[in-house]
Chain A
Amino acid sequence: GEDVEQSLFLSVREGDSSVINCTYTDSSSTYLYWYKQEPGAGLQLLTYIFSNMDMKQDQRLTVLLNKKDKHLSLRIADTQTGDSAIYFCAESAKGGKLIFGQGTELSVKP
């Protein structure tokens, strides 16, 4: 079946790099996504990666995909206090729906 798992919490110091990890089960997922959710807000699409890629960089964000192990990671360079939020990994499933992980709460300490 379709399932996405993430660690629940991550705490880093301002200026450090953050790495948020995710594992998924559906090997037929063609796209994998990272969303950010701030308190009381909807989900903001940060970036996505096509399954035939192993890396994508977008400014401070780097996505790494290990398709063999079904492992996805999001690296945020030079993490700022404004990056504090919950980050969701999601895989695309049949029909286009997204299967989300339970979210990783990132806490950035000054």
Chain B
Amino acid sequence: EAGVAQSPRYKIIEKRQSVAFWCNPISGHATLYWYQQILGQGPKLLIQFQNNGVVDDSQLPKDRFSAERLKGVDSTLKIQPAKLEDSAVYLCASSTRAGRGSYEQYFGPGTRLTVT
């Protein structure tokens, strides 16, 4: 079974530029998560999708971040314009379902963003 795919793996941009990350979850997984992991910290949820609907985007800085999951499969996370504090690893994860049950989340390798 193929894992969660993400691209690009690395991206360097200047502040105020825009950037987009792509995620392809495990086939059949209805729930998709984007996490931000700042160096030295644990991942923090940015947005959660169930199929193509948003379940939780309470921690997403909506003035600069946007995400979509068209057709309930692949997802794109965009930052426009980027700030220095957006430098982090952006992790995509997927699970079969959502909720407090044992719906194990499987993570992709992440995209390391450096904003200069």
Contact = CB atoms under 8 A, between A and B. Distances in A.
A94 B55 CA distance: 10
B48 A97 contact: yes
Interface in B59-116: 91, 93, 95, 97-110
A98 B45 contact: yes
Nearest to A91: B100
Interface string A90-110: 101111111011110000000
A44 to B, nearest CB: 8
Contacts of A42: 4, 91, 107-110
Contacts, number: 68
B45 A97 contact: yes
Contact of B100 (A48, A88, A92): A92
B56 interface: yes
A43 B95 CA distance: 14
A44 B109 CA distance: 10
Interface string A30-63: 1100010000111111001010000000000000
Interface of B: 4, 31, 33, 40-45, 48, 55-56, 91, 93, 95, 97-110
Interface of A: 4, 28-31, 35, 40-45, 48, 50, 88, 90, 92-98, 100-103
